[in-house]
Amino acid sequence: MKTHSFDSITLSEMDQVKLMNRTDQKFWFHSDYLPELLEMVKNQYFLLHIDGENKLPYATTYFDTENNRMFAAHHNGKLNRFKIRKRSYVNSGISFLETKFKNNKGRTIKKRIPCASPNGKFTSTESQFIDSHTPFFTRELKPSLGNNFSRLTLVNKNFKERCTIDLDIEFKVTDRIVTLDNLVIVEIKSDGKSTASPLALALRENRIKTSGFSKYCVGRSITDPQLKVNAFKPKLRNIEKVTQTKILI
């Protein structure tokens, strides 16, 4: 995978395109397509580098209620839904507690604060943050899914768009681990006002269509046999077909 032909950007330079209130487009496909896609857009994007590395590892812990209210809301097609997670940027050792709210206009609103312990109990500050930004109380939340992946981050040279490319995707619940080695997930994030995305155009040229993908919902569906996943089964079968990996329990 050739990434050396991209101009680089630093984390501080990327601050001007945080896009915490945004619209998202998601695409997923077999990793064989990725080298050609990167070659097609190398002149339109910067590639994030941190300490000389551009393929950066992430670790995430998701939280849900005992009766899986956040998972069920997504499964049942409910609008105005939430996700709560702790995410660690492994190389830097920095972690954030994050809330994501998908509203009924299709916008994603993300809020976050630094957190000291990515896996431990919520602090009083973290509890207050969750109470302020979600309808959930920390006393009803428990870790529900672990997720690890590697990420390439592209920034459009017009600074109106950011794209994440996730690889090496792994889900874990207790002693069950499922990996999706051949899967690539691309998310194109913008303020919703810009329509000319070079990466989206390159994907469409390769006949890769936009398709929703929630790492949380997919991960829960393929690691917990007790969950109701009827609405997700067509997508799970497509993922099996694309990755050539058996994932349905």
In the prediction, which pLDDT does 106 show? 79
Chain segment 54-70, per-residue pLDDT in tens: 999 999 999 999 999 99
pLDDT along the chain (249 residues), means of 10: 85 73 84 96 94 94 97 93 94 91 86 86 94 95 96 91 95 91 92 76 94 94 93 94 83
The dihedral sign for the CA sequence 187, 76, 225, 173? positive
Q: Are 26 and 197 within 8 A, CB to CB?
A: no
In the prediction, which pLDDT does 174 show? 87
Q: Domains of the chain, with CATH numbers?
A: 7-243 (2.40.320.10)
In the prediction, which pLDDT does 12 show? 85
pTM score, whole prediction: 0.91
- DSSP one-letter string for 107-153: EEEEEEEE-S-SSSPPPHHHHHHHHHHSS--GGGEEEEEEEEEEEEE
Chain segment 204-216, per-residue pLDDT in tens: 999 999 998 999 9
Rounded CA-CA distance 4/215 in Å is 28
Diameter over CA atoms, the chain:
49
Residue 107: exposure state from Cβ atoms within 10 A (0-12, 13-18, ≥19): middle
